[in-house]
Amino acid sequence: MSVAEDLKAHGITIPVGKYQGHAKSQRPDPDPELTATGPGTLCGEYLRRYWQPVCMTSEIPDDRPLRLRIMSEDLVAFKDKSGAYGLLAANCSHRNTSLEFGIIEDNGIRCCYHGWLYDIDGTILEAPGEPDGTKIPERVKHGAYPVLEFKGLLFAYMGPAGEQPEFPVYDIHEQPNDEMVPYSITYPCNWLQVMENTVDPIHTVFLHTRITEVQFANSWGAMPVVKQYTPDNHIVTTSTYRWGDYVWLRAQDVCMPNHARIGAFLYEAEEPRYFWRSALTKWTVPRDDTECMIISWRHYGPDIDPDNLGKPEEVGKEKVDFIGQTMFRDYIERQIEPGDYEAQVSQGLTNVHAAENLGQTDVGVATLRKRLREQVRGLADGSQEPTRPPKYGDKHYGYVQDTVFPIPPRSSDEKEDEALRGEISDAAMDIILEADSLPTAEERTARIKERFQKLHEDPRFSA
Ligand code: FES
Ligand SMILES: [Fe+2]
């Protein structure tokens, strides 16, 4: 007699289809094509074709190097006494002692063990224990990457030598009246699940508003219409909310592969506002396959934060001025009021896509993974170069924005209002994309604001 028959004989029945713990206990594997970023991996090679921030320049002391781990490579960043930044492979080319214990010199860094001196480009300038005329400087090349400093962040190009793209400066990196404060936060999990947060706007309704308490603003709790637009190398996710007689249109902008821009998040949608830009501009950079960093700027100033709700003094290494972004909270508090950090890190060291069940609201996540996979494979098989943003005038344009339109519902029918909000999103994106042809960011911004301020008069949207 089987166990089931035996139980049945005793009048015990086990409901079929419930209690699937055992059936689900063996987890599938992660997806290394998108999540593994070490040297020679498909995604790692792809990410290396873009300038990546590796640290804040404020982290690099004047007299010592900074040890870093980026995409599973051990590195040291330093500033020599001439003021030039360098990024070198950590292990000395002589006998592998770590250059994190090196001495900063006028030009380069000197290994502590036998005194080899390295220039910022990896050239060996001296091997002082070797006889005069040694061929070591010609024979040995040390691993080095080109770097540049931009607004308090140090960026590196870690792809093949000579193939580095131009460093892309976007309009949102140079907004007028904008104070940009760098910060960096460690996430002990794979980079992709942290990156995906920006293309998952529905989480803000629940995680940040309805599930716990209101973390940012009450209007986050309205269920938005979510739409997606993919101009050139961007994934723009719009969320369009109904809040009384206002329609709040929020566009989050992911620039492939790992650069994201987030709009103002501390303001209620209670009065009109037009084309506010980035409140937070970030890259998600892998340290290795189970740890990553958000390396970012918070933006402050009268245009993005006119009521001074942000706290720039609370922003820096492992800290930022809004809740739920770091591990540095009491565990019980994190359980009672979880934030982005808890949601993303707890997906696992590397989130297992095969164990997920995506729904309609996950369109952003699906799009990001699809695009990433296409580009990763395209680079690997030689069919596609990594996409680069087009340039207008001297800059690239971004799509992050927040606008609150004074557009009341056309009717009390909820479905009808969802349709209206979808149309407003399309109309607004048309206006933005049409303005892309303008040669300066100032002209583009002025044109968009002017047209946005009149959108409520459009017969399609007026009651
Ligand atoms: S190990 Fe660095 S100089 Fe010998
Ligand atoms: Fe969030």
pLDDT in tens, 309-350: 999 999 999 999 998 999 999 999 999 999 999 999 999 999
Q: Could you tell me if 260 and 327 lie in one domain?
A: yes
Q: Could you tell me if 302 and 372 lie in one domain?
A: yes
Q: Could you tell me if 247 and 126 lie in one domain?
A: no
Q: Could you tell me if 293 and 207 lie in one domain?
A: yes
Name the residue with the closest Cα to ligand 1, atom 1: 95
| Extended beta strands in 231-332, E state | 234-243, 246-255, 259-263, 273-276, 278-288, 291-300
Q: Could you tell me if 371 and 433 lie in one domain?
A: yes
Segment 193-204 mean pLDDT: 93
Q: Could you tell me if 181 and 145 lie in one domain?
A: no
User: Is pTM, for the whole model, over 0.75?
Assistant: yes
Segment 59-70 mean pLDDT: 97
Give 417-430 pLDDT, tens digit per residue.
999 999 999 999 99
Measured distance CA(217)–CA(267) in Å, rounded:
6
Boundary-marking domain end, from 156, 183, 218: 156
Residue 243 burial (CB count, 10 A): 17
* Residue-number span of the structural domain to which 283 is assigned: 171-457
Ligand 1 within 6 A of 49 CB? no
396: DSSP letter: B
- 353 domain-assigned: yes
Boundary-marking domain end, from 128, 156, 184: 156
- 16 domain-assigned: no
Q: Could you tell me if 123 and 220 lie in one domain?
A: no
Measured distance CA(346)–CA(334) in Å, rounded:
12
Q: Could you tell me if 193 and 96 lie in one domain?
A: no
Q: Could you tell me if 244 and 142 lie in one domain?
A: no
Q: Could you tell me if 280 and 147 lie in one domain?
A: no
Distance from the CA of 278 to the center of ligand 2, in angstroms?
15
Ligand 1 within 6 A of 117 CB? no
- 267 domain-assigned: yes
Q: What pLDDT, on the 0 to 100 scale, is given for residue 2? A: 67
Residues measured by CB to lie within 5 Å of ligand 2, the ion: 340
Measured distance CA(325)–CA(323) in Å, rounded:
6
Q: Ligand 1, residue 93: give the atom nearest the CA.
A: 2
